[in-house]
Amino acid sequence: TGTASGGGTSNRVSDGDFEGGLYGSSSTGTSGTTGPWSWTSTGSNNPITSDSAKSHAGTWLAWLNGYGSSETDTLTQSVAIPSNATTATLSFYLMVSTSETTSTSAYDKLTVILIDGAGTSHTLATYSNLNKSTSYSKKSFNVLTYKGQTVKIQFKGVEDSSLATNFYIDDAALMADGN
């Protein structure tokens, strides 16, 4: 983690695999900081959790929502993209499980947001209960437009009042060159 010497491509996200665990922080509450990640939860649950059966690799992952009741979870980290970067790609692995039975309505949503250096939010993608899967898939986004800025990467899960949807996130990375 951190910047590679000589300006090579490196992962600018710290603890994107969540294997650092809780860093001594609480697993409950409405907000907190867990290592390099800050989080909020209207359901009073830290989304960083240990479950090797649910993680993409290792033991730890980010698990947003899944309560079957109205809840909003966020997980955010600040990341600097070098001004001389020629490549910058945000990626993560996502798996979605749901109790929703619809094949047409997105009741529960996960939004991937990039907040630029000026504080403006940009939605990179939105996933929902309609994206249910039995395995992880890699999601990637070119974020070179934001070079020279310290941005915030945010995962925001919003669940409606019934039928649970689980958004599992693991191995988040922002690969960028430059120094």
Range of the domain at 105: 5-176
Do residues 64 and 157 make contact, with C-beta atoms less than 8 angstroms apart?
yes
Count of domains in the chain?
A: 1
Cα–Cα distance list, 83 to 6, 7, 80, 150, 154 (Å): 14, 11, 9, 10, 21
Query: Which pTM value belongs to this model?
Result: 0.94
Cα separation, 100 vs 162, in Å, equals: 8
pLDDT in tens, 6-28: 568 999 999 999 999 999 888 89
Can you give the pLDDT at residue 26?
87
- Residues 105, 12: Cα–Cα separation, whole Å: 35
pLDDT digits 0-9 by tens, 63-108: 999 999 999 999 999 999 999 999 999 999 999 999 999 999 999 9
CATH of the domain at 19: 2.60.120.260
